[in-house]
Amino acid sequence: SADLKKGLPLVNQKILVTAGPTYEAIDPVRFIGNHSSGKMGFAIADELVKLGADVVLVTGPTAQVSHQRAVKRVDVTSAAQMLAACEQYYADVKACIMSAAVADYTPVNVADQKIKKQGRNLNIELKTTVDILRTLGEKKHADQYLVGFALETNDEEQNAILKLKKKNLDFIVLNSLNDTGAGFKGDTNKITIIDSNLQKTIYDLKSKDEVALDICNKLVELIKG
Ligand code: CTP
Ligand code: CA
């Protein structure tokens, strides 16, 4: 396969991708999660392999499968596990595309036994998780590329630019929930890419596979200068 890959733009480049939701345990049978399907990240991992890259896909719980056998899949459950897996691979990679919907909060305590119902309200105290992308952004070397996503419902571009800067990204993929057909669950997505020069590209509504290729092409453009 080394010969077959020759001439592809990302040959010999290691790339880390994150996908899916994270699940934050409350007790042995319950968790806090979100509706991320993982489709976008799996599609990106497949496209990167087709472009010749060596891909590590760190994914939260999802029903997705990789269509490219060369994708190295690492399954995790929680935000803390996703952070640990990303930190393990980060030093060796040329680029990261972080599409996971990582929990922002996790329970302070995880009950070792199933919490019984009681005749009153239940409060679960939550603490913030570590921002994985921001942590990697702080360690980023001059020859590494970092791509994030932003899911916004309001002041989309302004919020996306704040995330781009705060997390030291090379570009950010803005998914607006105001665009019909975009978002977590469906097979289509509508994105805007904003790069570190604040150059903005608005893409049409497309299948997630086609969106994945647009994102990968933008990365190739940056890596190839
Ligand atoms: N992200 C991450 N680790 C977290 C939270 C987010 O790596 N603990 C990454 C996501 O994978 C995504 C980007 O940060 O690429 C932006 O995620 P998003 O939820 O849109 O932004 P937040 O910074 O979490 O801010 P908020 O949810 O308040 O909008
Ligand atoms: Ca968030």
- Residue pLDDT, tens place only, 174-212: 987 666 666 666 788 899 999 999 999 999 999 999 999
What's the count of helices (H) and strands (E) in the chain, helices before strands? 6, 14
Residue 119 lies inside a defined structural domain of this protein? no
CATH of the domain at 57: 3.40.50.10300
Check residue 187 and give its pLDDT.
82
Q: Which residue has the tokens 């009681």?
A: 118
**Which of 34, 154, 159, 197 is labelled catalytic?**
34
Phi and psi at 139, nearest 5°, equal: -100, 0
The answer to whether the annotation marks 104 as part of a ligand binding site is yes
Predicted TM-score of the model (pTM): 0.95
Q: From the CB of 79, is ligand 1 less than 6 Å away?
A: yes
Check residue 43 and give its pLDDT.
97
- Of the candidates 140, 138, 179, the residue with the CA atom closest to the CA atom of residue 157: 179
CA distances, 152 to each of 155, 177, 191 (Å): 7, 6, 11
Residue 224 Cα to ligand 2 midpoint, Å, equals: 31
Q: From the CB of 163, is ligand 1 less than 6 Å away?
A: yes
Residue 144 Cα to ligand 2 midpoint, Å, equals: 23
Residue 33 Cα to ligand 1 midpoint, Å, equals: 14
Residue 155 lies inside a defined structural domain of this protein? yes
Q: Which ligand number lies closest to the CA of residue 151? A: 1
Residue 19 lies inside a defined structural domain of this protein? yes
Residue 127 Cα to ligand 1 midpoint, Å, equals: 15
Residue 115 lies inside a defined structural domain of this protein? no
| Sequence-distant (≥ 6) Cβ neighbours of residue 165 within 8 angstroms | none
* d(C-alpha 200, C-alpha 33), whole Å: 31
Structure confidence at residue 5 as a pLDDT band (50, 70, 90)? confident
Check residue 225 and give its pLDDT.
86
Q: What average pLDDT does the chain have?
A: 94
Residue 114 lies inside a defined structural domain of this protein? no
- Residue pLDDT, tens place only, 24-52: 999 999 999 999 999 999 999 999 999 99
Check residue 192 and give its pLDDT.
96
Examine the pLDDT at 123 and tell me if it is beyond 70.
yes
Residue 142 lies inside a defined structural domain of this protein? yes
Catalytic, 189? Answer: no
Residue 118 lies inside a defined structural domain of this protein? no
The answer to whether the annotation marks 149 as part of a ligand binding site is yes
Q: Which ligand number lies closest to the CA of residue 102? A: 1
Token digits of residue 125? 């105290």
For the stretch 177-182, contacts whose Cβ atoms lie closer than 8 Å and that sit 24 or more positions apart, written own/partner, are: 177/151, 177/152, 177/153, 178/153, 179/205, 180/205, 181/205
Q: Which ligand number lies closest to the CA of residue 148? A: 1
The answer to whether the annotation marks 167 as part of a ligand binding site is yes
- Residue pLDDT, tens place only, 128-176: 999 999 999 999 999 999 999 998 989 999 999 999 999 999 999 998 7
For the CA atoms of 7, 9, 14, 20, the dihedral, rounded to the nearest 10 degrees, stands at -130
- Residue pLDDT, tens place only, 13-30: 999 999 999 999 999 999
Per the structure, how many domains does the chain have?
Answer: 1
Where in the sequence is the domain holding 213, given as residue range(s)? 2-109+125-224
ipTM: 0.98
Q: From the CB of 17, is ligand 1 less than 6 Å away?
A: no
Residue 120 lies inside a defined structural domain of this protein? no
